Amino acid sequence: MGLAKRIIPCLDVDDGRVVKGVQFVDIRDAGDPVEVAKRYNDAGADEITFLDITASHEGRDTTLHTVEQIASQVFIPLTVGGGVRTLDDIRNLLNAGADKVGINSAAVHNPEFVREAAERFGSQCIVVAIDAKKVSAESEPNRWEIFTHGGRKPTGLDAVQWARRMTDYGAGEILLTSMDRDGTKNGFDIALTRAISDAVPVPVIASGGVGNLQHLVDGVIQGGADAVLAASIFHFAEYSVEEAKRFMQNAGIEMRL
Amino acid sequence: MSEVVAVIDYGMGNLHSAGKALEKVANGQQILITGDADRIRAADRVVFPGVGAIRDCIAVLQETGLDQAIRDVIAAGKPVLGICVGMQALMAHSEENNGVDCLGVFDGEVTFFGEMQDDTGSKLKVPHMGWNQVQQGMAHPMWAGIADNARFYFVHSYCVTGLADEEVAGYCDYGRRFAAAATRNNVFAVQFHPEKSADAGLTLLENFLRWQP
């Protein structure tokens, strides 16, 4: 009895289309974010995260339209991140039907933006996304640093201190991605997940590196994550969300089934 | 004339979800998102949603006179559904923002979760965010078709305590036991977000549209 750990499929969306291919066998249009979101909803996903990678300015309107369509048809929480830089960006996304908004590099460039956003819209809808990479040598105690530009640009910010600062400023949730593990399928960076989860009072979503269902279990039990985010294992139908939930429940984790 | 269901818009955030979820389950009712006190008074049913900080919520309600409109529709016996901060605003007092007097429809007190630990001694995260179970405190038409201990989506840092047992329609446990749903006569209020709680949430909203208190 109690609060369930969450499974959150993540869609990368470019100009209104899901990219990095979703390969469900019986889906009509794997590029349609609305259709994919509905599928995940039907499969028992606890939330959906939508990462907007649209580069063009005009594309932002497409994004809002897509969010609106998803929110009209999918009645589970929807987080939208990617390119969020101003209070207007946040307002537009919330008005379109997003429940939470992810802030990433804009927080690094201007940490006060997070404070303003939380004061204006409430901590419950402000997710700070953190991309961290291990910078300590094997012989040293673990140290992770915040990177921007898809993991290419170091910022000098210590990941644990940064996470704590962001929650002090009002972030209601941390989306933590290990840039070392992202795309490797070798599992989450457990030590990083544990360090951040222990350091902050708010929920932490672990992301980056999921290759099998045991990785999800490890992220929660060893890493202390409150939620796990994954893309490819679900998109390519290696595992269904329901299968993942049953596996986690069998490992003793409270799940919504 | 079809029934009108007013969703109170007091400029505090995302009403799209509540409106769309109600539209999804409506059976001929017109869903009207409005901040107009007269239109709210004229509606057949009223939904009072809310997100954000309680101080701002109560301040806006008072400035716009919507607090009185809410009292009027309650007094008129129309079905009223409070959601999240909407539920909290119906209580007597909240300790958020250094203490705020609320509408006082219920005698409950809204308190911070605070530092808590789970059974294993690890720290509980606040906000209480995610899918938790609601233990039904009574048989009620709003629970029709919803299993006892069904999961709903919560996101909040403050919770309602101190209600009389006969007013607690549902309980939730997160470090402590709190009121997940409160009811009296024609008012039903929930701490969770039915509009974000998949099938169980849609069923609850559908029940509200049919409820004849």
Contact between residue B34 and residue B8 where contact means Cβ atoms under 8 Å apart? yes
Tell me if chain B has a CB within 8 Å of the CB of A227.
Answer: yes
> Is residue A257 domain-resident?
no
CB-closest option in A5, A71, A256 to B17: A71
B196/A2 Cβ within 8 A: no
Residues in chain B: 213
| pLDDT tens digits, A208-233 | 999 999 999 999 999 999 999 988 88
113-152 in chain A: CB under 8 A from chain B: 121-125
Calpha distance A37→A2 (Å, rounded):
26
Q: Is B13 within 8 Å of A94 when comparing Cβ atoms?
A: yes
**A75–B24 CB contact, under 8 Å:** yes
Q: Does B161 touch chain A (CB under 8 A)?
A: no
Inspect the interface and report whether the beta carbons of A4 and B129 lie closer than 8 Å.
no
Confidence of residue A61 (pLDDT cuts 50, 70, 90): confident
* Out of B51, B129, B154, closest to residue A173 by CB: B129
Q: For position A236, what pLDDT does the model report?
A: 79
Beta bridge partners of B150: B134
The C-alpha angle with vertex A237 and arms to A236 and A238, in degrees rounded to 5, equals 90
The count of domains in chain B is 1
B128 touches chain A (CB under 8 A): yes
Q: Which domain holds residue A187?
A: 7-250
- CA-CA distances (angstroms) from residue B158 to A134, A197, B48? 36, 21, 18
- Please tell me the predicted confidence (pLDDT) of residue A144: 98
Asked whether residue A22 carries a pLDDT value surpassing 80, the answer given is no
Minimum mean pLDDT range among A190-199, B47-56, B66-75: B47-56
Residue A204 domain flag = yes
Question: Which of chain B's residues have a Cβ under 8 Å away from the Cβ of A70?
Answer: none
Rounded to a whole number of angstroms, the distance from the CA of B166 to the nearest CA of chain A is 23
Q: What is the CATH number of the domain that holds A185?
A: 3.20.20.70
For residue B39, what are its two tokens?
Answer: 């239109």
The mean per-residue pLDDT over the stretch B20-37 comes to 95
pLDDT at A151: 81
Asked if the structure places residue A1 within a domain, the reply is no
Contact A195, A142 (CB under 8 A): yes
Report the chain A residue with the minimal C-alpha distance to residue B154.
Answer: A3
pLDDT of residue A26: 61
Q: Calculate the alpha carbon distances from A241 to A20, A26, A100, A216, B197 in Å.
A: 18, 16, 21, 11, 17
Distance CA A227, CA A64 (A): 26
* Best residue in B131, B157, B195 for a mutation probing chain A (most A CBs within 10 Å): B131
Contact between residue A159 and residue A145 where contact means Cβ atoms under 8 Å apart: yes
Residue A188 carries which side chain, given as an amino acid letter? F
Of A50-64, A89-103, A236-250, the range with the lowest mean pLDDT is A50-64
Chain B partners within 8 Å of A98 (Cβ): 14
C-alpha distances (whole Å) from A151 to each of A181, A208, B82 are 11, 12, 44
State the smallest CA–CA distance between residue A153 and chain B in angstroms: 31
How are the residues of chain A apportioned to helix, strand and coil, as percentages rounded to the nearest 5?
35, 25, 40
- For chain A, how many residues are written? 257
B116 CB contacts (<8 Å, ≥6 apart)? B123, B124, B126, B174, B175, B176
> What is the C-alpha separation between B74 and B46, in angstroms, rounded?
9
Q: What percent of chain A has pLDDT over 90?
A: 72
Spot the catalytic one: A46, A52, A131, A226. A131
Alpha-carbon torsion (A10, A16, A21, A23), positive or negative = positive
- In contact, B181 and B200? CB cutoff 8 Å: no
| Full 3-state SS string of A121-173 | HCHHHEEEEEEEEECCCCCCCCCEEEEECCCCEEEEEEHHHHHHHHHHCCCCE
Are the CB atoms for B193 and B64 separated by under 8 Å? no
* CATH number, residue B47: 3.40.50.880
Residue A159 lies in a domain: yes
Q: Does residue A2 surpass a pLDDT of 70?
A: yes
Spell out a b/e string for B100-128, using b for 16 or more CB atoms within 10 Å of the CB, else e. Answer: bebbebbebbbbebeeeeeeeeeebbbbb
Q: What is the pLDDT of residue A216?
A: 97
In this prediction, residue A1 carries a pLDDT of 63
Q: Over 80: is that where the pLDDT of A21 sits?
A: no
pLDDT at B128 over 70: yes
Which residue from B61, B31, B83, B116 is spatially nearest to B187, judged by alpha carbons?
Answer: B83
d(CA B158, CA A129): 24
Contacts of A226 in chain B (CB under 8 A): 125, 129-130
Closest-CA residue to B109 (of B162, B51, B175, B177): B162
The neighbour count for residue B139, using CB atoms within 10 Å, is 8
How far apart, in whole angstroms, are the C-alpha atoms of residue A187 and residue A216?
8
pLDDT band with cut points at 50, 70 and 90 for residue A152: confident
| ipTM over cut 0.90 | yes
**pLDDT tens per residue, range B83-124:** 999 999 999 999 998 999 999 999 999 999 977 776 666 778
Half-sphere exposure for B57 (CA within 13 Å, toward CB)? 28
Whether A18 and A11 have beta carbons less than 8 Å apart is answered as yes
Q: Which domain holds residue B57?
A: 4-210
Question: Mean pLDDT in chain B?
Answer: 93
**Residue A91 near chain B (CB below 8 Å):** no
Domain annotation covers residue A229: yes
pLDDT in the model for residue A24: 58
Q: Do B127 and A202 touch (CB under 8 A)?
A: yes
The CA distance from A71 to the nearest CA of chain B, in Å, is: 6
Helix (H, G, I), strand (E, B) or coil at B84: coil
Calculate mean pLDDT across residues B136-142: 97
Which of B17, B192, B205 is the best residue to mutate to test the A interface, defined by the most A CB atoms within 10 Å of its own CB?
Answer: B17
DSSP structure class, residue B59 = H
The predicted-structure confidence for A86-139, as pLDDT tens digits, reads as follows: 999 999 998 888 999 999 999 999 999 999 999 888 899 999 999 999 999 999
Residue B16 annotated among the catalytic residues of the structure: no
Give me the pLDDT at residue A19, please.
81
d(CA B143, CA B170): 10
Q: Is residue A202 part of a domain?
A: yes
Catalytic annotation present for B128: no
Please give the tally of structural domains in chain A: 1
What percent of chain A has pLDDT above 70? Answer: 95
Domain presence at residue A2: no
